[in-house]
Structure 1
């Protein structure tokens, strides 16, 4: 047998300390995940409903304020304030429910960031929970439950 029959070996290849590194010489760039669209929408819906609740309570307070200040008198003027408050709270609660569903959809998407989906789902869920608890307290205080 000749030397040509054997494959040439690098003298450093047999050395365990100079072999191929266990890591890539160039760091791989991490995949940059995009934020989920439904998650952002859920977060925006939560912020809009919080602002809507604040505005509706301020407007209803301004409409009902003169009626409440007059003791033992009943005016029909205060009814529109209570009606506005009730309808706006119901509309905003429906919007919170939509935001909760959209947030859950944003959490279910794969390959997307879930930060806004988590925040939007938590805020919308907490607002809906407070709304349900408010209705339960009112029904208990009236004696319906």
Structure 2
């Protein structure tokens, strides 16, 4: 995430009563903490922004449901699935959706590699941690 987007998020955070915003991806962690008075009335340090690399996601990893819902391999208004087995994917690529009521939440690739076959049928109800598909390591030339 570039500095202008972090500044934008920090500005939005300053206009709320949220003290800490934490954003995570499989490979990154970013925390925005709003300044203010700490216990005892002492002023806090300026808003802290920390972006640290999380542990690398190993290739050959299984993509799992991060919440309960209905897994969709394509958008309800589209015929084409987001990814086909054997297709090369990049980190962060949209692989599917988790539907909770009318809300559609993204399922993204935690690492680059080759998409495997779906491990659940599209339209299946899944629980937290249900394996959805695997991503195999890319073969280097």
Short-chain TM bin: under 0.3
TM-score, length of structure 1 as denominator length? 0.16
Larger strand proportion of the pair: 2
TM-score, length of structure 2 as denominator length? 0.16
Larger helix proportion of the pair: 1
